[in-house]
Amino acid sequence: MSSSAKSYICWVVAAGSVAIFAGLSQWQFTHTVRFPIFFALAVLSSMLKIRFPAITASFSSNSLFVILGAVELDPTEAMLIACAAAAAQTLLNTREKPNPVQLGFNIAVLGISTSACIWTASTAASWGAGSALALCCSAVAFYVLNTILVSGIVALTREITMKRIWRAWLCWTTPAFVVSTAAAVALFVNDPAFRWGPALLTVPAAVILQMGYRRLVEARVTATA
């Protein structure tokens, strides 16, 4: 690993540590039902991965529950969900054994992205935006920052321009992310009280989404090979 990649990782981990500490320092737990459900669903969905050989990275639908948590829950709860989702995506259902650096970097990236998501949702709400619009704005902030941070380390480790990697990342992951965000908005708008039934229906929906999109990715890779 180059010195530039090591420096980049250090900066991201440092920024992520600050973001995570800021979220956890408030130490608020007021959603006794939503928090454990979001937490469990985020971890479970992290195990369902779509791998992209073109960018040596993977995508999971855990962002659906991380974004919902950032908008609907306390910052502490949202940050715990994000950290758990990042850890689960790194450690569970993986082809190769991850190292501590990968784990720390992935948690930091999701911590930074979640912090931006929380801030965007709060800012949008203070400007008078409706809950659904605030959720969409926060999802965009989450996605843009997350993909930029991940593209940075991929570009440095593979010695490819970040612009090329980011464009490839957007090309491969945007459809899946848009569907996940639409599912989050639909769940929030149709069931603001968050009853058990509609929430749990997102699990098979996420599975179907992952399997379908994975087939499309595999077919595209085969066609271009």
Which structural domain range is residue 217 located in? Answer: 3-224
How many domains, the chain?
1
Give the integer Cα–Cα distance in Å for 106 and 150: 9
CATH code, domain with 137: 1.10.1760
pLDDT at 13 over 80: yes
- Over the stretch 16-71, which tens digit does the pLDDT of each residue have? 999 999 888 878 788 777 788 888 888 887 877 666 655 556 666 677 788 888 88
Question: What is the CB neighbour count within 10 angstroms for residue 144?
Answer: 14
**Angle at Cα 122 formed by Cα 119 and Cα 123, nearest 5°?**
85
Averaged pLDDT for residues 168-190: 71
Q: What is the pTM of this model?
A: 0.80
Q: What is the pLDDT of residues 83-106, one digit of tens each?
A: 999 998 888 877 777 788 889 999
Burial state string for 86-117 with b = 16 or more CB within 10 A and e = fewer than 16: bbbbbeeeeeeeeeeebebbbbbbbbbbbbbb
Per the structure block, which two tokens stand in for 79? 């940050």
Provide the pLDDT for residue 213: 58
Of 195 and 131, the one with more pLDDT: 131
Q: What is the structure's pLDDT at 221?
A: 47
Residue 215: how many other CB atoms lie within 10 Å: 11
